[in-house]
Structures are given as C-alpha cells and as structure tokens.
Structure 1
C-alpha cells in the first residue's frame, strides 16, 4: 500500500513537472514571439517612421536644398536680370567719361557675376532649367526694370557724358527692380541661402541707387 502510494506520488510529481515544463515552454515561446514581434515590430516601425521623423525630414530637406516655387522664380528671374546688368557694365570701360561711373560698373560686374553662377547652381541642384542666355534677357523687359533691346542699343551707341547719364538712369531702374524681386524672395522664399542673397542684393543695390542718384545730382 505504501509502495503503491509512493508510486502514485512519483507519477503525480512527474506529471506535474511535465505540465510545468510545457507551461514554461509555452510561456517562453510566447515570450520569444512577443519579444521578436515587439523588437522586430519596433525595429520595423522605427525603420518605416525614420524618414518621417523631424530630424530625418530635416536632413532630407537639407540634402535636397529645401526650396519652394518662390525660390525658383527668384533664381530664374534674377539670372537674366543680373546678366543684363553685367552686359550694361561691360559697356562702361570704353564709353563712360566719369571715373565714378566706370568704378560703379566694375563693382556691379564683380558682385553680380558670382551671383549668377550661384543662382544657376541652385536651379541645377533643384532639377530646374537655367534660363538660356540671349534673347530672353531683352524679352523680359517689364520684369524688374529690365531694359528693352532699343534701350540697350541706345546705350551701346552713347559715349561720354551722354553715356554716363543714360547708364546711371537705366541702372537705377534696373536696381529698383532687383530690390523689389529680392524683397519678394525674402517674404515668400524658403531656401535660406537664397533669402540671404536677397538681403545682400537689397543692401548693396539700395546703396548703389543712392550713389547713382548723387551722381545725377538727385541725392
């Protein structure tokens, strides 16, 4: 009887142990599944959400040169505008009489040539077309004080004091147009470097407008 009870007790213990092992294994398996699902899930979530996280979005935007339509319009408008100013400035050495006008023309070319290259680089990096050189520079008259082909021809045919006066009067209008375009960029643009350039254009060309008004006796 005692032996029978002992055998039954041992059988119960073994059965209980087996049950416990199964429960533990199940729990362990469940835990592993939860763990892999949890970690894997988090990893997948982290992976899928990384591009939309603020820092990742900022990095992506920075890599793409964060910009908007106003930045594109600014670059596409300012390139031909600057080109025409440089074209005007190139006429001064052989036609101007005033040393001040010659220096002003040299300063304009020195400032605007590099800006044309920078603006062109932005457009290229944004996947936009850089305005073609040539006819469109004059056809864009009416935008930002651009000269007509006739006005440009008149300037080319002038010399001495007549050139100085025509150059100064036309460049004042030209600069006023550039300042207006730059203010629009500062108000509506998103590209930091473009807005910075716009600020520099406003400062430098406003100062040159004052200088040219003084040369005309209007200061």
Structure 2
C-alpha cells in the first residue's frame, strides 16, 4: 500500500509547490506595477503639478476678495463712460478697462470658490470693503450725474486713485502670495494699470 501511495503524494507535493511559486510571482507582479507608469506610486508625481497649482495662502485670499469688488467698481465706472464721456480717448480707455477686468473678476471668483472661500457679494458698499482706492457712494453719485468734459476729468481723477489702489494690492500679492496664477495676474495688473495711469495723467495735462 505504501509503494502505491508514494507517487500520489509526490504529485500532490509538486502541485502544491507549483501553486506556491505562482502565488509568489503574482505578488511580486502586483508590487512591481506600483513602480511602473500604470501603478499607484507612478501616478502620484503626475498629480503633483495640479496640487502645486492649487497651493495658496491668506495673502492670495485677501488679494482675490479685495480685487473682486475693486474690479467691479472699475467696470461700473467704465460703463458710465459709454454715454457720458466727452472725449473718444476716455471712452476708449473705459472700454479697455472693462474688457480687461470683467474676465479677471470671473477668474478671481473661481479661485475663491475652489478654495472654499467667500466670494464678495455684488451690490455691497464698495467703500466698506477695505480695498484701496475705492470710491464712496457720494463720489459714484457725482460721477453718474456728470457728463462731457466734467465727466472726463472726474472719471480720470477717480480712476487714477482707483488704479493706484489696485497696483498697491497687486504688489502685496506678488510679495506675499503663494498661488502662482494669482501672482501672474498681479503682475499683469501692475503693468496694465501703471500704463493707464500714465495715459490719464497725460490726458489731464499733468505730464
């Protein structure tokens, strides 16, 4: 009986050994895929740029929350120029301001939403928001009631102050912010609005 059973036992042992080898190979294969492009470990670096792109700090939030109402007021002022400005230069300047700042409002609002931060409500008292260079309700009312040359002068004087405030906010963002796209926008604001300040100074005869 023992001589008959021995071959059977040998076959069974060989089968078990083969299964163990296959199991070890499978485990080794699973571990290996983690280091290949399709594996989990290799996927992590591909998500790193996205995470870095979303990195932000308190300065970025302050910049976005301050610039949204600031830009909204500039667009509101620019809209008045279409029917009240006396010179073509002021109308063109106002249109350029509106075209530049409308898209930036949407971008800034999108960043705040993605960061889980409040987007400043429309229609709030701009002067109470703490943003630099903002017009008070009385100043906006006087601008709305003017036209022709009087409007042009008031618009440019107020917009120079407004732009100077935006440039100061943008400089703070470039110095203290962490969100790369916000810092790029801040640089663009500084360049564009510094140029517009120089143009308005020239139109006012100050240089």
Q: State the TM bucket, normalised to the shorter chain.
A: 0.7 to 0.9
Shift in Å, 1:205:
0.9
Q: Is 1:56 the equivalent of 2:44?
A: no
Distance 1:73 1:48, change over 3 A: farther
Deviation of 1:207 (Å): 0.6
Query: What's the CA shift for 1:27?
Result: 5.0
Paired residues of 1:51 and 1:57 also in contact (CA < 8 A): no
Which residue is equivalent to 1:151?
139
Aligned to 1:197, the other structure's residue is in SS state helix
- Gap runs ≥5 in structure 2: none
Deviation sequence 1:61-108 (CA, Å, 0-9, x none): 38xx61413433332221111110011112223333333222212221
- Aligned pairs for 1:1-219 (under 5 A) are 27-42=17-32, 49-50=40-41, 53-59=44-50, 61=51, 66-69=54-57, 70-140=59-129, 142-187=130-175, 188-192=177-181, 194-219=182-207
Contact kept, 8 Å, 1:50 with 1:56, in 2: the verdict is: no
Q: 2:85·2:151 contact (CA, 8 Å) conserved in 1?
A: yes
C-alpha distance in 2 between matches for 1:109 and 1:36: 63
After superposition, give the CA deviation of every residue in 1:95-124 in whole Å (9 maximum; x if it has no partner).
Answer: 333332222122211221222223333333
Contact 2:34/2:42 (<8 A) preserved:
no
Alpha-carbon contact 1:74-1:182 (below 8 Å) kept? yes
- TM-score by structure 2 length? 0.76
C-alpha RMSD of matched pairs (Å): 3.3
Q: Any gaps of 5 or more consecutive residues in structure 1?
A: 1-10
SS of residue paired to 2:54 = coil
Runs of 4+ that moved beyond 6 A: 17-23, 44-48
- Radius of gyration: which is bigger? 1
Question: Residues 29 and 126 (structure 1 numbering): CA distance in 2 closer, same or farther, change over 3 Å?
Answer: same
